[in-house]
Amino acid sequence: MSSKLERVLRVFSSSLFFSNAAQRTTSLRQLHFFGSAQQDQKFYLNVQDMDDIQEDITKGMQELKFEAMALSFPQEIVHEILLRLPVKSLIKCTSVCKAWRSMIMNKRFTRAHLSQINNVNDRHLFLVHRVSGRESSTSGHRAIVSKVTEEVYSLHYDNQAFDEYAKIEFPIAPKQEVLNEHLRVVGTCNGLVCLADDMFCYCYNFFIWNPAIRKLVTLPGPAITFRTHGGYDASIGFGFDANTNDYKVVRVVTLQHEGVGPTLAEIYSLATGSWTSVGSVTPSCQLSRASQAFVNGALHWPALRRTDYGSNYFILTFEVGSTLFREIRVPKSLIKYNYHLGLWLSISGDGKSIALFTMDNRCEDSFLEIWMMKEYGMEESWTKLITLGPQGPERLLPRASCFRKNGEVLLILSGARVAFSMGSILSNQYTFYGHRAKSNHELVSLDLVSKTIKNLGISGEGYQYCNVDSYKESLVLSDQTDAVSY
Residue 197 CA to residue 186 CA, distance in Å, equals 10
pTM of the full structure: 0.81
Tell me what pLDDT residue 5 has.
Answer: 41
- Contact indicator for 419, 432 with CB cutoff of 8 Å: yes
Give CA angle at 289 (458, 373), nearest 5°. 75
Alpha helices in 334-471 (DSSP H): 416-422
Residue 95: CB atoms within 10 Å = 12
Residues 6+ apart with CB under 8 A from 229: 253, 255, 264
Residue 311 CA to residue 392 CA, distance in Å, equals 35
- Based on the number of CB atoms within 10 Å of its own CB, is 361 exposed (0-12), middle (13-18) or buried (19 or more)? buried
Tell me what pLDDT residue 438 has.
Answer: 43
List the end-to-end C-alpha distance of the chain, in Å, as a whole number: 38
- Contact indicator for 252, 301 with CB cutoff of 8 Å: yes
* Position 353, amino acid: S
The pLDDT tens digits along the chain (486 residues) read 444 444 444 455 444 444 343 443 343 334 333 333 344 444 445 555 556 666 665 555 554 456 666 667 788 888 988 998 999 899 988 988 888 899 999 999 999 999 888 777 567 899 999 888 887 766 555 677 878 888 889 999 998 889 888 889 887 666 667 888 888 999 999 999 999 998 877 789 999 999 999 999 999 999 999 889 888 889 999 999 999 999 999 999 988 876 667 899 999 999 999 999 999 998 788 887 768 999 999 999 999 998 878 899 999 999 999 999 999 999 999 999 888 788 999 999 889 999 999 988 665 667 899 999 999 999 999 999 999 887 777 667 788 999 999 999 999 887 643 333 222 222 233 332 333 334 557 889 999 999 999 988 876 666 778 889 999 999 999 989 999 998
- Contact indicator for 185, 195 with CB cutoff of 8 Å: yes
Tell me what pLDDT residue 176 has.
Answer: 67
| HEC per residue, 1-37 | CCHHHHHHHHHHHHHHHCCCHHHHCCCHHHHHHCHHH
Distance of CA 449 to the CA centre of its chain: 26
Q: Which of helix, strand or coil describes residue 482?
A: coil
Report residue 124: phi and psi, to 5°.
Answer: -80, 130
Tell me what pLDDT residue 109 has.
Answer: 95
Count CA atoms within 13 Å of residue 467 on its CB side.
28
Residues 6+ apart with CB under 8 A from 217: 207, 208, 209, 270, 477, 480, 482, 483, 484
* Position 301, amino acid: W
The Cα diameter of the chain in Å comes to 83
Strand partners, 464: none
In DSSP notation, 37-59 reads HHHTS-----HHHHHHHHHHHHH
Residue 373 CA to residue 377 CA, distance in Å, equals 8
- Based on the number of CB atoms within 10 Å of its own CB, is 385 exposed (0-12), middle (13-18) or buried (19 or more)? middle
Query: Which of left, alpha, beta for 451 (phi over 0: left; psi -120 to 50: alpha)?
Result: left
Tell me what pLDDT residue 460 has.
Answer: 60
The CA distances from residue 473 to 115, 239, 256, 305, in Å, are 12, 16, 40, 37
Tell me what pLDDT residue 23 has.
Answer: 44
